[in-house]
């Protein structure tokens, strides 16, 4: 699909289904989440409650969560949400706000840069500390040698 029409197709839905395999939910976040948020469409996450995806959806109030491997519960949740257009509209508006605030490329790049600098500075400080410790222990042994 051409990139120019992607926003139209993403925003055509009233609700995006964002599933994640419970075996990998500690390792990744489904990329389709970000497109759904950016399009201002609420999400129905099919994920374990303790998964980052489920936590984000609930804490940021951008949709609902349904447990994996429970198709009957999924159907009930979809039917319930279809009858609540005001709630879906509110979640959709919030989804767009969250996308702009926390998942904008320039924001994420700046956060990544800060984190990378923090890690690199921490490693440099640790390396400087190791070097100073080595120098101090070398000085101590030199002093001990001179005293004997």
pLDDT of the chain along its 148 residues, tens only? 776 666 666 666 789 999 999 999 989 999 999 999 999 999 999 999 999 999 999 999 999 999 999 999 999 999 999 999 999 999 999 999 999 999 988 888 999 999 999 988 887 666 665 555 545 555 444 334 444 3
Integer Cα distance of 90 and 85 in angstroms: 9
60 DSSP 8-state letter = T
Integer Cα distance of 124 and 122 in angstroms: 5
Has this prediction a pTM greater than 0.85?
A: no
Question: Can you tell me whether residue 64 is helix, strand or coil?
Answer: strand
29 DSSP 8-state letter = -
């Amino acid at each position: 699909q051409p990139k120019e029409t992607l926003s139209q197709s993403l925003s055509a839905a009233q609700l995006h289904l964002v599933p994640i395999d419970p075996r990998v939910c500690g390792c990744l976040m489904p990329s389709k989440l970000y497109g759904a948020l950016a399009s201002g469409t609420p999400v129905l996450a099919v994920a374990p409650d303790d998964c980052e995806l489920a936590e984000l959806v609930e804490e940021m109030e951008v949709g609902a969560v349904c447990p994996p491997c429970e198709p009957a519960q999924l159907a009930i949740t979809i039917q319930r949400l279809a009858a609540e257009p005001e709630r879906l509209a509110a979640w959709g508006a919030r989804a767009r706000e969250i996308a702009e605030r926390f998942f904008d490329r320039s924001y994420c790049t700046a956060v990544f840069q800060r984190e990378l600098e923090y890690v690199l500075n921490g490693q440099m400080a640790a390396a400087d500390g190791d070097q100073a410790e080595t120098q101090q222990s070398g000085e101590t042994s030199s002093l001990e040698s001179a005293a004997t």
